[in-house]
Amino acid sequence: MSIIMKVREQDGSRVVTLPSELLDSIGAGVGTALALEVKDGAIVAVPVHEPAARKSRRYTLAELLVGAEHLPEIYEGVAGSLDGNPVGRELG
């Protein structure tokens, strides 16, 4: 299979969009990690089959703030930032 794609610039990076048919042919879908290397002047992409990802854990606000009471001792710019009530979707 030979497909010609142009390299374009996006936010200062060079970008090539890979068509679904091309990725399907190597068993790569959305979220698949690709190992990239150059062989004989060609870019070779090989899917990396990573172990099943663990479900990300949601931490409570108390868990996130363990040890935070010592921050003002380290950096005085955060003094008072732990005072007050939660202001977002923090879990108690």
CATH code of the domain occupying 8-48 = 2.10.260
Burial 83-92 (b: 16+ CB within 10 A, else e): eeeeeeeeee
β-sheet bridge partners, residue 48:
33
- Say if CB 1 and CB 25 are below 8 A apart: yes
3-to-7, 33, 35, 60, 76 alpha-carbon distances in Å: 13, 21, 20, 49, 58
Tens digit of pLDDT at every position of the chain (92 positions):
788 999 999 999 999 999 999 999 999 989 899 999 999 999 999 999 877 667 788 888 888 888 877 877 888 777 777 677 777 876 65
Where along the chain do its domains lie? 8-48
